[in-house]
Amino acid sequence: MTKSFITSNNAVLPVFFFCLVAWCLGGADVDVAPMEKTEKEALYSAVQGFVGNWWNGSGLYPDPCGWTPIQGVSCDLFEGLWYVTSMNIGPVHDNSLGCAKNPEFRPQLFDLKHLKILSFLNCFVSPRRHPIAIPSNDWEKLAASLESLEFRSNPGLIGQIPASFGARLVKLQSLVLLENGLTGELPVNIGNLIKLKRLVLSGNSLSGRIPGSFGVLTQLLIFDLSRNKLSGSLPLTIEGLTSLLKLDLSNNQLEGMLPSGICRLKKLTLLDLRNNKFSGGLTKSLQWMRSLEELILSNNPIGGDLMTLEWSNLHNLVILDLSNVGLAGEIPESISKLKRLRFLGLGDNNLTAKISPKLATLPCISALYLNGNNLTGELKFSAEFYGKMGRRFGAWNNPNLCYPVWLMSASHVPYGVKPCQQEELNVLEPNTRTKLADANSNQNSHYVASLGFQSYGIDGFWWVFLVEILIALFFLDLFPVGVS
């Protein structure tokens, strides 16, 4: 009985596993959809153009959108067939396909009719041996689908931005051309891409003016034209970018006054205009940009003074950099009301008067630079403040500024600032000695001043005591006691 049971079990098990495998394979056949033939051919040819003809996709099963897809390529189903929706060329992932030494754009790239995302990272890297331009034609084939187009870190990518981008890619939401070798002017018709949310063209050699047509991009969130060779003034239409969160136009050759209408960018959190040629003073409308977290205007001949603005309105500011902008006048106490401020840069200006000790009460401050001005008087920050800030407190190159030496240890001395005692005790002349002999204790403060210490400072009693000892030594010198 037992023997027959074991025998029947041995017969059933193979049948069970056979049925299980058949069921799994049958289910897999149902789940795996085919890839449209012309789509597959277009994809293979496009990829070979960038990585080389050595690649033939032989390791893919059952096709590029199956269980072993191409790294960086994504697909989606349309009417029961797989189509490519995303292609990322270059070392995006550790196992991504690397680009060939002489990559090329093949026309089959534009036959991927459902492509939504196309990006190239560090693929065109040789501007001398293998320079290549972005194709100017065939982009209309991708007009119905393409939403994001990016070229990042491609120094071998030269020439101009194709005007066909603005004329054809009407569904584009993100256009990023970052750190390439592009030249020429900005295409005016980029203003036609009204669905753009991100426009980043930084790190190229683009020149000319910023087109006024860009002002109609009302959905734009990030606008970055930094590190180019752009010139001229800001278009007045920039106030139309009402959804903007970040505006970076730094490191160009832009000039003129900051338009007063910039205050209409109510949602702006970053305004970076450093290293340009802006002038005409700080526009008062800046004080109404209450969402600003970073205001960076350094290295511009702006001029004017800080008293123009009511700084307490900008209560969200975290970074305020107005270094080397030609400011004059005093530092307003209203800046000390910016409770979120971490970085304050006012160096290399023409600021005068005394420094308010209230600046040290900023609860989040971690860097404060006041160097290279004409600030005067005595620094009245605590030793704890200097200890916390270290070299991140800069007050050097203010010739008439000093710190009270008796208030702090040598380890907390502000870098590059002189101590308030400047006069050395000079060798006294005989007629001075006579005056000293006639002096009384009410004149002690005079000698304290000559030593460079103020009589009302901490431990003033000991300085007076020291002076009295010096007076006694002079008396002994004038009237020596004879030894019998």
| φ, ψ (nearest 5 deg) of residue 180 | -120, -165
pLDDT of residue 131: 96
What is the Cα–Cα distance from 359 to 382, expressed in whole angstroms? 11
- Look-up: residue for tokens 């051919």? 41
* C-alpha torsion 12→15→21→22, nearest 10: -140
What is the H or E stretch that residue 277 is in?
Answer: strand 277-278
Tell me how crowded residue 170 is: count the other CB atoms within 10 A of its CB: 14
pLDDT tens for each residue of 223-269: 999 999 999 999 999 999 999 999 999 999 999 999 999 999 999 99
Handedness of CA 281, 285, 288, 292 (dihedral sign): negative
Q: Which residue has the higher pLDDT, 299 or 92?
A: 299
- All residues at 6 or more sequence positions from 428 whose CB lies less than 8 Å from its CB, including other chains: 436, 474
Average pLDDT value for residue range 142-156? 97
- Given a cut of 90, is residue 448 above it in pLDDT? no
- Given a cut of 50, is residue 57 above it in pLDDT? yes
pTM (2 d.p.): 0.81
Task: Read off the tokens for 476.
Answer: 């002994």
pLDDT of residue 461: 44
| φ, ψ (nearest 5 deg) of residue 17 | -65, -35
| φ, ψ (nearest 5 deg) of residue 451 | -85, -10
138: Cα separation from own chain's centroid: 36
Q: What angle, 0 to 180 degrees and rounded to 10, lies between the N-to-C axes of helices 460-478 and 430-438?
A: 120
With b for 16 or more beta-carbon neighbours within 10 A and e for fewer, the 284-294 pattern comes to ebbbebeebbb
